[in-house]
Amino acid sequence: MEKLLEQIKKGTVWAFPGGVHPPQQKTLSNSAQIARLPLPDKLVVPLKQHIGANGKLIVEKGQHVLKGQPLTTPAANWSVPVHAPTSGTITDIAPMPSAHPSALPELSIIIEPDGNDEWCSLNPAINPAKLSHDELVDIIHQAGISGMGGAGFPTYVKADIKQPIEFLIVNAVECEPYITADDVLMREHAKQVVQGIELMQQILNPTLCIVGIEDNKPEAIAAMTQAAEHNANIVIQTVPTVYPSGGEKQLIKLLTNREVPSSGIPADIGILVHNTGTLFAVQQAVYEGKPLIERVITVTGNTIHKPGNVWALLGTEIKHLLDCQGFSPVPQQRVVMGGPMMGFTLPTVRIGVVKTTNCILAPDHKELAEPGPEKACIRCSACADACPASLLPQQLQWFAKSKEYDKLQEHNLFDCIECGACAYVCPSEIPLVQYYRVTKVEIKEQQAEKIKADRAKERFDARKERLEREQEERQNRHKRKPAAKSDDEKQKVADALARVKNKSDNGGEKSAVAAAIARAKAKKQQGEELEPDNTEVAKERALRKEQARKYKEQKSQTDDSGDTAPVDDKKSAVAAAIARAKAKKAAQAQDEQVKTDDANTAPADDKKSAVAAAIARAKAKKAAQAQDEQVNTDDADTAAPVDDKKAAVAAAIARAKAKKAAKAQDEQTNTDDANTAAPVDDKKAAVAAAIARAKAKKAAKAAEQTDQPNVPSINEKPADNVKSEEPQTDSPSDNKKAAVAAAIARAKAKKAAKEAQQTQSDENTEQVTTAEPETPSEISPEQTAAQKKKAAVAVAIARAKAKKLQKEGNDQS
């Protein structure tokens, strides 16, 4: 460090890479003193004239303001106020063209001067040396001072830096051609500039202050040396005239041989840089209490008759400056704000000057020729040789055209200071700086969008986490942590559980419920969360199932205790069907025999006929009963249970056959009655009606017995002379199906019996009521009356029996 200080004090200068030597053209404007211009007709004061946020507007339209009165107040970080350049009335507050290559409108305050140029009350510091650090920073902040030689960085931010500063560098190089504002300012106000340097030394307390001035400004060097001779910590250093030696990083390299890291700032290496005009504004704010409302601007060019430097109020339109200096425009005249290397062409001269405006250049066509059409790159590497930042301008231009932003950042695009040296030496006249400027804006917009999206995602994640946390808190709000239990309480819980267990072992369903209640109470005493426990209920259910299983086994053993062996299911069903068919056939044959006897027998005595008919009916009834009992006994006394499904099938077949036999019997009876040539005696008709009723009753009874097989109970023993036919299963589903099938069969049998009874009753009634003796002489009146009476009685009996049979069928269903 000491060696470096010795080298600096000896005047050692280190070179930086690249650089060019354009024509200086400074003699046009540095020969005259700084001039004062008359007040303009209006002032257009933008609210934003620096890097950072706008200030908060504190004036309104139509308000009268004084010179130096604040128009805005700081409202955010890196925000500095603006002040009224002169006294007057605010005529409007509206967007106006900005001092930018795009001339995009920015909110501005339009002031109409009143000509009095009346100051507001000023508060200069009586003894600046006794001011504290915070007081000096606040004065600089409220004065609205920002960098006046570069991008307009707020000065109070640099002054309030927390990092230790070793070197304070004053940039008085002013390397841009044509510009002489800092040169004449140092000539005429060197003392004030040095006072500003001393104020910054008081704030920052650096080891050494170095003032760098190009060797083409001998008068400024002499003036600054004389003004700073009393301060040993201020070194006036002369640097060679090379463009762009006035660049911040390049000047640091020249004076200290230190390099600012890529994407870093000078404070990272303990260095702070201020412009000459900025330090003069600091001196004015502290010593005189004046805010930043004016600055020195160079007005030059071949179309200006009186080129020179002027004090210009902030907000003064460019047209007013040109007119005051004798502007004679040429066709397609260009007006440049800034120098020829880093300045930009103004789209209109109705733009107000701002804090960073240091030059207005109005050249003719010979002085600053229009650039020609862009040609293809010839890869001469002249741009790379001239770049003071050691970049690859050609490669950056290719990436910029193809919008490869990642590669541009990898090649350190943002280290470019936009000095224009690459474009100045390019033989193909490629506007390299314009490519870089546009691409930088696009990258910054992309980064801003990414930052915005990241913040939105962070807010979303934070909100999601908060909602989940609140939901969890709501769920756990009513949960209580179990309190520590004493030994007595634990013993009580254990006793309760033991009692519950004993009850569960000895009791049934009630004990299970009591056990569950006891467990719930025990858990409630322990403070635990109640949970359903069906263990005891499940045990009771398992016990009942075991009892049912044992009952079924006992039943099966009882059924298997007979001497008969199970027979094939199909054979048993066939045997039952054959037995039922034989019984029906026997009954049918008996009925036919009775009919044949009745038809072949001549009218006889009523008493004998009645006796014969009664005997025939008894025999038929007895035979049908014997057959039905035999069938029922065969079906009911099977030792092994019959399969429900097969039994249901057999029952359905039997019912169908019974129904078919009854229908055939009815048809035969009707045919016999219709084929009888001679009228039948009323007695015979009654006999036929009785036979029909017996057949219908027998058919209904057979159907009912078929539907409901007489299965013996567990306690009954099967008959010794009956052999078991089929084993029967205990499946609940088969039982249900069999029950359904039996119900259907009973309904069908009931319907068939009802139809048969109705048909037979109608026929008998018709026969009885319509039967007449063939010759009246053969039957006496008394006999005729007796026959009619008997026939009526028979019809009534038939109707009663049919009604009774129907009622029995209803009861069975």
What residue numbers does the annotated binding site for [4Fe-4S] cluster cover? Answer: 377, 380, 383, 387, 416, 419, 422, 426
CA 667/CA 753 separation, integer angstroms: 14
Question: Do 186 and 346 form a contact (C-beta atoms < 8 A)?
Answer: no
Residues at the annotated binding site? 377, 380, 383, 387, 416, 419, 422, 426
Token pair for 375: 């040609």
Q: Which two tokens stand for residue 600?
A: 């072949």
Instruction: Return the SS3 of 793.
Output: helix
For the chain, what is the radius of gyration of the CA atoms? 64
Distance CA 450, CA 448 (A): 5
- 3-class secondary structure, 211: strand
Q: At 703, list the tokens.
A: 């159907």
Residue 332, class by beta-carbon neighbours within 10 Å (0-12 exposed, 13-18 middle, 19+ buried)?
Answer: exposed
- Beta bridge partners, 45, equal 109
Q: What is the DSSP string of 529-586?
A: PP----HHHHHHHHHHHHHHHHHHHHHHHHHTTSSPPP--HHHHHHHHHHHHHHHHHH
What is the CA angle 281-282-283, rounded to 5? 90
One-letter amino acid at 571 equals K
Token pair, residue 424, equals 């100045």
> Angle 682-707/781-812 helices, nearest 10 degrees?
10
**Hey, is 426 helix, strand or coil?**
coil
Interior angle at CA 263, CA 339 and CA 198, nearest 5: 65
From the list 335, 181, 232, the residue with the least C-alpha distance to 8 is 232
Contacts of 415 (CB under 8 A, 6+ apart): 262, 263, 389, 391
Q: Which two tokens stand for residue 43?
A: 């002032």
143: tokens are: 């004065």
Look at phi and psi of residue 527 and say left if phi exceeds 0, alpha if psi is from -120 to 50, else beta.
left
Q: Give 748's Cβ-side CA count (13 Å radius).
A: 21
Packed helices 535-559 and 509-526: angle between N→C axes, nearest 10 degrees: 170
Beta carbons within 8 Å of 261's beta carbon, 6+ residues apart:
268, 269
Task: List all residues 6 or more positions away from 197 whose beta carbon is below 8 Å from its beta carbon.
Answer: 168, 170, 209, 211, 228, 231, 234, 279
